[in-house]
Amino acid sequence: MKRTTFFSLVAATLLFTACGEETKKASAEATASVTEAVKEDSAEAVEAAKAEASEVAEETEEKSEAIAAAAAEKAEAAKAAVASQVAETASAVEEKAEEVVAGTAPEMPAAYGKCVGCHGSDGKTKALGKSAVIAGQDKAALVTSMKEYQAGTKNVAGMGMLMKGQVATMSDEDIEAVAEYLSAIK
Ligand code: HEC
């Protein structure tokens, strides 16, 4: 080998080695900067994702608050509607009850049972076409009439004796109950 060739070989090797070192360094630097960039990027991405997440969370919170408020309002309205319906129903029932009470004749006492054939169950029949209507008469007047028939002192249409027989066995309580019943009929 010539000397010049040997030297150039050595130079080339040196150069090559140096180059290798440079390349290695450059690549290491590049790697570092890429890593840095990736780190930065991902940090930014994480920040952005965090910000977005908190925004979404805020929005969701706002929305659920709005939904809760709307639901509460609806519940309140439903409550009010039910309450007014209940009140309406209650007053309707009360009215009906009053109607029934007003329209229903008082309960007939047992002592009036034998009078029904001539005076009618409601006392509105003129007995044998001769008597007055006994329903709706004043209670005291009815008591007096029955007691006078018992005593044989009442005779309006010539049938006083017939009525005497009808009321003969009535007790004061029976007379009271019958008078109460008849006077209560409208
Ligand atoms: C058989 C039919 C008959 C029966 C049953 C009968 N009555 Fe009479 N009642 C008459 C007649 C008729 C007179 C009218 C009597 C008269 O001439 O005063 C009369 C009159 C009366 C009067 C007086 C009415 C008025 O204002 O002048 C009363 C009150 C009365 N009856 C109550 C009764 C009661 C209570 C009974 C049942 C315990 C009864 N009667 C059963 C036929 C009947």
pLDDT digit string (tens) for 83-110? 888 788 777 777 666 656 565 657 999 9
Q: 82-105: string of b/e by CB count within 10 Å (b at 16+)?
A: eeeeeeeeeeeeeeeeeeeeeeee
In the chain, pLDDT over 90 holds for what percent of residues? 42
Confidence of residue 18 (pLDDT cuts 50, 70, 90): low
Distance 136 CA to ligand 1 centre (A): 14
**Cα separations (Å) of 58 from 54, 66, 141, 148?**
6, 12, 87, 95
The residue whose CB lies within 8 Å of the most ligand 1 atoms, and thus the one to mutate among 134, 150, 153, is: 134
Report the candidate in 164, 184, 153, 169 with the shortest Cα–Cα distance to residue 111: 169
The residue whose CB lies within 8 Å of the most ligand 1 atoms, and thus the one to mutate among 108, 114, 115, is: 115
Report the pLDDT value the prediction gives residue 153, as an integer from 0 to 100. 98
